[in-house]
Amino acid sequence: MTHYQSKYSYILELKYLSKSDYTEKKAQEQCDEAVEQINSYAVSQRVEALRQGTQLHKIIILFCGWDMVKMREV
């Protein structure tokens, strides 16, 4: 497997709510679920092997329709 030299690795967790389904409560539930998922990915043996000592950034993004409504690093 070929890897490029880099200081950083990233995991992105994307979530989506339709405009008709969007509420702050549902948005928070999606974000909470994303945090759980991304943290479980980050500790997997496969991710650890692939990141090869780089600094891992875990980012969650929530879309409502076409609009990005939340983005944060976990």
Tens-place pLDDT, residues 15-43: 999 999 999 999 999 999 999 999 999 99
Position 32 scores a pLDDT of 97
CB atoms within 10 A of CB 32: 11
pLDDT at 69 over 70: yes
Position 6 scores a pLDDT of 86
Structure tokens that stand for 70 in this block: 């939340």
CB atoms within 10 A of CB 20: 7
Count of domains observed in the chain? 1
Burial of 27 (0-12, 13-18, 19+ CB in 10 A): middle
User: Does a structural domain hold residue 2?
Assistant: no
User: Does a structural domain hold residue 1?
Assistant: no
User: Does a structural domain hold residue 3?
Assistant: no
Position 14 scores a pLDDT of 97
User: Does a structural domain hold residue 46?
Assistant: yes
pLDDT at 46 over 90: yes
Residues present in the chain in total: 74
- Give pTM, 2 decimals: 0.86
